[in-house]
Amino acid sequence: MLGVSSGIGSNPLKLKTLLQGMESENIRLFLVTEEEHFESDYKSYTESRYIEITTASNFPNVFPEEKFDYIIVEIGISFSDLNAFKKRLQATGKLLVWNENSKEISLVQKSEPQMTIPSGNGLWHVYG
């Protein structure tokens, strides 16, 4: 599982915990952010080698050797980034993108998500 710009990582951690309870699998959690101050939070629940501090434009390229069952993106992304993340999924993988900006929501909805879920001030778009 890859969490992208997920603050302290609470949403990816919640999904990981839920899936482990349902599937009894060992799920590796990878996290990437631009904000170095979250690194210490991440280290409390994932291994250091699964943490990447980089720029937003590089997010789709992190951990290049990995394909993911789940990618959770919690920043506004472009259509090209959306497609780049989709290419990083396993065959049955899911991409979850959260947006609160109406312009970004409109752009992402044009890419025909499988499902849209209201959440707080924004929407989750699910692909896969």
Sign of the dihedral through C-alpha 2, 68, 14, 80: positive
SS (H, E, C) 33-71: ECCHHHHHHHHCCCCHHHEEECCHHHHHHCCCCCCEEEE
Find the range with the poorest average confidence among 2-6, 78-82, 90-94: 78-82
pTM for this entry: 0.84
* CATH code where residue 32 lies: 3.40.50.150
The boundaries of the domain holding residue 53 are 2-127
Alpha-carbon 65 to chain mean position: 17
At residue 77, the pLDDT reads 76
Residues composing the chain: 128
Q: How many domains does the chain have?
A: 1
Query: How sure is the predictor about 71, in pLDDT bands with cuts at 50, 70 and 90?
Result: very high
pLDDT per position as a tens digit, 108-120: 667 788 998 888 8
